[in-house]
Structure 1
Amino acid sequence: MHRIETAKMTRRTFLKKLTRTGFVTALATSFAYGYARWIEPSHLTVTHHTLSHPLIPKAFNGVKLLQFSDLHLGHYYSLERFYRIIAHINELRPDLVVFTGDLLHEANRYPDTEAVAEALAGIRAPLGKFSVYGNHDHGGYGTDIYRRLMERAGFRVLVNEHVLVRRGRQAIAVAGGDDMMLGRPDWAKMIAGIPPATYTIALVHEPDGAVETCRYPIHVQLSGHSHGGQIQLPFIGPLITPPLSERYYEGFYRVGGLVLYVNRGLGTTRVPLRFFSPPELTLFSLIHR
């Protein structure tokens, strides 16, 4: 009789533990989803870094370059949030601003291109504003829409070309390649005519393009596209990364003699979630050494 009662208590205890575990698991899952859906995507981070090199002209010592990327406006990314980003960029008082692709999620379906152009035009950058195509900028018949929008906003759209940014008599080069997935990138054309020993920064949307970029006299590549993995797990890393960002997906890398920086972007793609990969603005200080 005693053994039967003990068995009943054991089953009851087991069922209680099972119910408690299920409740805690459901609660944790709900919290994680709520955090990834509503909190982290709105938690903007500003990362500050230094780019130092002997070829950075002394006239550029202390110049601030701001990179932003991958807004995906229209894909769960509102104009109101976008306006806050523009205000934040201006608060950082950059000298140069670069955008590394994927502005609109579906350009031919986005209804507020004029408002976006007007907002981007409000970014202040005395040494210039430059951008390149991402795959979403070419996709959805967006190639011409993106170019017109960015040019109205005062951005120079670089497609396998470069500009010399001057400060006094000294200059650095900002080069831009076409998108690797839907465009026709040409690295040799991108840097053709850059004077020897000119410090050169290349904008290439897909970070894995660094494998090709490092073969040329380019010192830094700035990329986006990966969203930092968008959903990362501790000790595991990103669950899914887009094509051409499997090798390099977040932060600094050294690829041969090239320095690569991968920005986590601002918006989301595929699913409107971010987990351990908050949206990012990156502010670089150029230092002559």
Structure 2
Amino acid sequence: MTAMQRLAGFVLVLGFCIIFLFKDGRSQGNLLTGKTVYVWDFATRDGEVNSLTGNFTEEFEEALIQTQQCIVIERRKHQRLFEQRQNEKGIMSLDEISNAEKESLKSLHTNIVVFGDIYDDTEAGQLRIGISVQSFEGEILTKTSVLMPRGKKLDAESRQMAMKELVQKLVSGKDPRPSSEPIVVEVENVRFELKSCKLSGGNLVCTVVITNQGEDRELHIYLPNTRIIDSDAEEYLVKAATIGASAGSAKLVSGVPVKAILTFGTVA
């Protein structure tokens, strides 16, 4: 395979991902309005759950309740449903919780779960508090974050202000869920259609259907240069890719659709 063929494969796949992320933020409406929301325990990026992450969780939940835009399941009223999670490593996606906990969430008619992570940037002197909002099917609906001086992390008023800012960014945004129309990119007679993107074990797994509308050709996904960029300007590299039954490359027969799976690593 020539360098040009490898580059062409990279350009096709990367272009598709960029257009998906762009369209993904253009739908209208607040995604929380009228929904039942559960706020999972915030954790550090190392997976630690401690008193500080607990304070941020409670303060975020309180700020969300004050918006009166959604039904927030107050965790302290349902502690017995989630007793087994205590003293466990922090959880960042629905894919990581137990079946029993999923059933508990279902019993509370949960539509949306919010996961939070706290990154202590000692060099910059700041804390980054980020949230990932997920549907009960595991789809990432949106992500956002705020910064606060790390020297203020023990000050309750400063934390509360930061959480109010974070909630305001969440509820003032538009619904980022894709519209019902298919998300399609066509490049050099090859059609890419995004079918889904879901979290799995901290990774973002996207399914794309590829249809070659020209002559038979080879397609190669060049892993080192294939990436996505989220709304916080963070990059995530593809760690694995399959096209049909092949790993990273395949021959595309004219007119025959084939499914590709792209796995982007360590999505916070």
Higher relative contact order (CA 8 A, sep 6+): 1
- Structures share fold, TM-score greater than 0.5: no
Q: Which has the higher strand share?
A: 2
Q: Structure 1 length as normaliser, TM-score? A: 0.22
Q: Structure 2 length as normaliser, TM-score? A: 0.23
